[in-house]
Amino acid sequence: MLAIITVGVFGYTFLSGFSFVDAFYMTVITVTTVGFGEVQPLGDQEKIFTIFLILTSITVFGYAASAFTEALANGQFFKQLKHKKVQRKIDTLKGHTIVCGYGRNGKQAVSKLKNYQQKYVILEKNKELVAFLETKGILCIEGDATVDESLQNAGIKNAKNLITTLPSDADNLFVVLTASQLNKGCKIISRASNESSFDKLKIAGANNVIMPDRLGGNHMASLVVTPDVIEFVDRLTIEGETTPNLEEISVNGLPEMYLGRTILDLDLRQKTGCTAIGFKNPQCDYIINPEASTKLVADSSLIVLGRPEQILKLRKLF
């Protein structure tokens, strides 16, 4: 529309020497076919230009009306509005998790994130799955996770974590490489099917590589060797699906008065009923059942065990 008006104004000004106001006036009455009358009698050149302008404007308006009507009929117009609305929501997210692929592993990951009330975005290229997820009110982007633009649409630059559960190790490797370049501070967790892919994914930038088949086999064997221990550990997860039994406390997030103090000074057992069962030092080494005299230094973390109500009390206090 703007392009047609611009051509009309310049055309009348050039051919007839009209002032800007007269040229604009003639353009509007010509394009809209209102026909109030000419500013001054037109010569042959001006008439030919007017015919050209009328035919062009009618063609452009007709095409625009046809395209808009077709979009409405096919539902594309409202679909684009919905996608823009979803994209605006994703653009406001910070510290969320991107889940690439909504297969078996992706569903389990999303279920856990949802139970722990974590913000997440699903990146899936199956249109039917995306449509289903949208009906559930889940933030979902239709696209190929191996494409940079798809990851950017999912908010990779503001994401805290990325989980890639694609069935192909090659695709997962590509996602890990891309994500690590777009956001170097993003924690990346990748699925792997083959043993040979494990080291490659780690080199590419994955912080953790999970092999579901290996985990499943180890778990089944452990149920034979140490059944009671495994059942107890499983129960921690089962009972903690909606409210966790385990919590990680970042020392950096504690009140400043506790920095440099000991686990004993926190007095977790007395204040919350929870017990510190693990400690991760700044070098990422884990200490199981740490001593009460262990110092709480910067960039370290505590792993705490407790019943759901005790964990909630822990969150409120610390």
What is the full per-residue pLDDT of the chain (318 aa) written as tens digits? 566 667 666 665 665 666 666 666 566 666 666 565 565 665 656 656 665 666 677 777 777 777 767 766 655 555 666 778 888 888 999 999 999 999 999 999 998 888 878 899 999 999 889 888 988 888 998 999 999 999 999 999 999 999 999 999 999 999 999 999 999 999 999 999 998 899 999 999 999 999 988 888 887 888 888 888 888 877 776 555 555 688 888 998 888 888 889 999 988 989 999 999 999 999 889 999 999 999 999 999 999 988 888 888 888 887
Q: What DSSP state is assigned to residue 295?
A: B
Residue 201's domain comprises 93-210
CA distances from 307 to 240, 244, 249, 265, 280 (A): 9, 8, 16, 21, 21
Cβ contacts of 24 within 8 Å, gap of 6 or more: 5, 9
Please list the alpha-helical segments (H only) found in the chain: 2-16, 20-31, 44-74, 76-91, 104-115, 127-135, 148-153, 169-182, 195-204, 212-225, 227-239, 263-266, 268-271, 308-317
Whether 252 is covered by a domain: the verdict is: yes
Number of domains in the chain: 3
Whether 222 is covered by a domain: the verdict is: no
| Shared-domain flag, residues 138 and 201 | yes
| Shared-domain flag, residues 139 and 205 | yes
Whether 36 is covered by a domain: the verdict is: yes
Whether 223 is covered by a domain: the verdict is: no
- Return the CATH number at 126: 3.40.50.720
| Shared-domain flag, residues 122 and 192 | yes
- Return the CATH number at 19: 1.10.287.70
Q: Which of 163, 187, 210 is the last residue of a domain?
A: 210
Whether 98 is covered by a domain: the verdict is: yes
| Shared-domain flag, residues 199 and 100 | yes
Q: Which of 210, 229, 253 is the last residue of a domain?
A: 210
Whether 79 is covered by a domain: the verdict is: no
Backbone angles phi, psi at 285, to 5 degrees: -90, 135
- Return the CATH number at 290: 3.30.70.1450
| Shared-domain flag, residues 119 and 203 | yes
| Shared-domain flag, residues 288 and 205 | no
| Shared-domain flag, residues 143 and 183 | yes
| Shared-domain flag, residues 114 and 206 | yes
CA neighbor of 1 nearest in space, from 79, 69, 56 = 56
| Shared-domain flag, residues 70 and 101 | no
| Shared-domain flag, residues 52 and 159 | no
Whether 227 is covered by a domain: the verdict is: no
Can you give the pLDDT at residue 112? Answer: 86
Alpha carbon 146 to its chain's center: 14
Whether 61 is covered by a domain: the verdict is: yes
